[in-house]
Structure 1
Amino acid sequence: MGSTPKNVLAALTAALLWAFAFVAPAAVRPASELLLVTGRYSLFGLCGLWVLWRGRRQLRLIPVRRIVFGLWIGFVGYFVFYICVSYSATMDSGFITAVVVGSSPITIAVAGNFAEKRMSWRELVAPVILILIGLGLLSVSDLIQGEGRDGAGDSILAILLALGAMLTWSYFVVRNAQSQRTWETKPDPTLWAGLVAMGAGGASMVLLPFAIASTPPETFEPYPLFKIVAWCVFLGVIASWWGTLIWVKAAQGIPVPLVGPLLATETIFGAVLSLPVENRLPTGAEVTGALFVLAGIAVYLFFDVKNSRLRARSTDGGDGSRATASEMAAPT
């Protein structure tokens, strides 16, 4: 994976795998959202536990505070994030959930600009406005389609949950990047993925018995049971664990300005995949709102790439090293 084209292809593969998280909640009905989340991340956590056991000698060299931090961001960035995504997608629309969560590059940009100024605040105005217009169109369209007051209430709560997922994921990305920039010695990518997996898996294993007990009885009939087990295995082992490893390794050879566009493709994949599951075509307002969101992301990326090139030119006299996206690895 030495060349950028191969790394980009690998990162796109990871983004496609993660995008299935947006359609799984509707696909496993009548299983509860909590059962899907706890089942998925219990398997993800077991993968992490196996890796940490194999690398226990290296693990002992990592300070306890960093181990705790890895577990914490795994809990917040995976478990809490997907709780919000699952309930949002099943209460309303996987398409809208995917698009709202996909606006997180702007949230990351604002939070990241406070921590490490990458562009002027004036340059952030246009992308933020475009994103807000897009979210407004999606929200209004969804409320209009809601059936009565209960439908409208569900739509509002679903959008709030999607916004919660967006903020949670943004926190994960920014804190993960900040922490790794301040460490003199970065942990092995596989071990770090194992810690993150255990953070998500630990909470899931605790709640799994409750999730099973609160699941509708019809879920345990042969076909629904097969569906939920198959989706948990796919999301937990292939999408979460394998996708995480692909991203972490690929990100080591990807320039930082490419991180945003690659992460944004997860949203596009998720929105497209959700439509066949919901057995419908997107409405005009949804398409327009999504285009505004993507336009906002594109404008932000334009300024970010421009500023990155200016910074690179100003530091040409240095050691010639080039930052990569390894410290920004933040899959969902």
Structure 2
Amino acid sequence: MGSTQKNVMAALTAALLWATAFVAPAAVKPASELLLVTGRYSLFGLCGLYVLIRSRKQLKLMPLRRILFGLYIGFVGYFVFYICVSYSATAGSGFITAVVVGASPITIALAGNFAEKRMSWSQLIAPVVLILAGINLLSVTDFVQGRSEDAGNSILGIALALGAMLTWSYFVVRNAQSQRTWETKPDPTIWAALVAMGAGGASMVLLPYAIASTPEETFSPYPLFKIITWCVFLGVIGSWWGTYIWVKAAQGIPVPLVGPLLATETIFGAILSLPVEQRTPTWTEIAGALCILAGISVYMVFDVRNVRSKEALSAPDESDADAVPATTRASR
């Protein structure tokens, strides 16, 4: 039990580190969103490059198509995803971005259900309806308050947040599918390094342009210190170490807890965004967030029930004197 508690605390720590990505775009102003993304993932990619150089013998044993797929999935799931998150957070709100991206368990479930049926489609109706209602409430916030000049930015922020949600869902589903279908599983550290290089490669190419297109005031001492600090924190601590902590912790976390623990990332992100934006959430934002959280909660309840039902069916026959009760364990 103590080991499980430690793993849960480690997973929450990783989620909190990841959540800082939602507040960074507003915190580094006047630096551009592109500079934050390219700076962060250039450092993330360098961490991956260091690991790949040290593990070059094992890397040579991997088929080229798998190496290319690892780079591709890193580019889409990290670089493109955070481009959407960064511009969404500054066009709309870090709070709204975090809440909308937090609905990704449902899009992952929908995509995963097409690939391999995890639950009945009828069980997904209530979560999907609640989340759609929540997104609609979040998107009309500025219309309800009569701020037409902010409405366009709010809609753009919602659209980019939806893009981030779909991009992340694609990354999770494609990555999981590839790992399950490959006969020889890649070393987790090498795979993480390939993903990091996929995000970092694109970032390094665009970094000179990001620097050139950044407002001059960014290079004053204090703004420059802020952007460098945030890039180092997000790239090395948030991305690399956060991922490492999560991978290690997830090995000792029961399967039903994985989903709720991942969901805490966006909850942390929404909470952290409000002080940075120096405001409190509106009532429509609160209602929208609660609808989305309710949708995720309903989905998690069904998911836990299904996992337990499958474990009960696969448990040893009770009539067997030597039967051992089935235990919930992390199998990912």
With the shorter chain as reference, the TM-score category is over 0.9
Q: Quick check: 2:72–2:198 contact (8 Å CA) kept in 1?
A: yes
CA-to-aligned-CA distance 1:72-96 (integer Å, 9 cap, x gap)? 1110010000000000000110000
Please identify runs of 4+ aligned residues in structure 1 that moved more than 6 A: 318-323
Counterparts of 1:123 and 1:202, CA distance in 2: 41
Q: What is the TM-score when the length of structure 1 is the normalising length?
A: 0.94
> In 2, Cα distance between the equivalents of 1:263 and 1:325?
16
- Whole-Å separation in 2 of the counterparts to 1:293 and 1:248: 26
Which has the higher mean CA deviation after the structures are superposed, 37-46 or 57-66?
57-66
Instruction: Give the fraction of aligned pairs with identical amino acids, expressed as a percent.
Output: 77
Aligned to 1:260: 259
**Match of 1:12, as an amino acid?**
L
Structure 2 regions of 5+ residues with no counterpart?
318-323
- Cα 1:254–1:142 change in 2 (3 A) is farther
**Which residue of the partner structure matches residue 330 of structure 1?**
none
Say whether the 8 Å CA contact 1:101–1:267 is kept in structure 2. Answer: yes
What is the aligned partner in structure 2 of residue 185 from structure 1?
184
What does residue range 73-88 of structure 1 map to in structure 2 within 5 Å? 73-88=73-88
CA distance in 1, matches of 2:316, 2:225: 60
What is the deviation of 1:145?
A: 4.1
Please give the alpha-carbon distance, in whole angstroms, between the structure 1 residues aligned to 2:48 and 2:209: 22
SS of corresponding position for 1:281: coil
1:117 alignment partner, SS class: coil
Report the residue type matching 1:208 in the other structure. L
1:97-136 CA-to-partner distances (Å, cap 9, x unmatched) read 0000000001011111111111100011011111111111
Q: Is the 8 A contact 2:142 2:150 kept in 1?
A: no
Q: TM-score, normalised by structure 2?
A: 0.94
Q: Counterparts of 1:68 and 1:278 in 2: how far apart (Å)?
A: 39
Q: Partner of 1:28 in structure 2?
A: 28
Question: Using the alignment, how far apart are the partners of 2:171 and 2:2 within structure 1?
Answer: 27
Name the CA shift for 1:237/1:283 in 2 (closer, same or farther; >3 Å).
same
Report if aligned partners of 1:143, 1:155 keep a CA contact under 8 Å in 2.
Answer: no
Q: Which residue of 2 aligns with 1:103?
A: 103
Render the CA deviation track for 1:197-251: whole Å, top value 9, x for unaligned.
0000000000000000000000001000000000000000000000011111212
Q: Which amino acid aligns with 2:38?
A: T
**In the alignment, what sits opposite 1:302?**
301
Counting matched residue pairs gives: 325
Task: State the one-letter code of the partner of 1:165.
Answer: A
- Asked if 1:207 is matched to 2:206, the reply is yes
Asked if the contact 2:7–2:249 (Cα under 8 Å) also holds between the matched residues in 1, the reply is: yes
Aligned position for 2:153:
154
Aligned partners of 1:108 and 1:9: how far apart in 2?
24
Q: Secondary structure at the match of 1:185?
A: coil
Q: In the alignment, what sits opposite 1:226?
A: 225
Amino acid in the other structure paired with 1:43: L
Q: Rate the CA distance shift 1:147–1:284 in 2: closer, same or farther, 3 A.
A: closer
Measure, in 2, the Cα distance between the counterparts of 1:323 and 1:82.
32
Opposite residue 120 of structure 1, the aligned amino acid is S
Q: Tell whether the 8 Å contact from 1:8 to 1:254 is kept in structure 2 after alignment.
A: yes
CA apart distance, 1:142: 3.5
1:313 offset after TM fit, Å? 1.0
- Cα pair 1:143 1:156 within 8 Å, conserved: no
Residues in 1 aligned to 2:275 and 2:117: alpha-carbon distance in whole angstroms = 41
| 3-state SS of 2:61 partner | coil
Structure 1 residue 18 and structure 2 residue 24: aligned?
no
Q: Distance between the aligned counterparts of 2:42 and 2:309, measured in 1?
A: 45
Superposition pairs of residues 91-170 of structure 1, within 5 angstroms: 91-145=91-145, 147-148=147-148, 150-170=149-169
Q: CA deviation at 1:179?
A: 1.1
Structure 1 pair 245/295, CA: closer, same or farther in 2 (3 Å)?
Answer: same
Q: 1:283 to 1:69 in 2, by over 3 A?
A: same
Which stretch shows the higher mean deviation, 203-212 or 188-197?
188-197
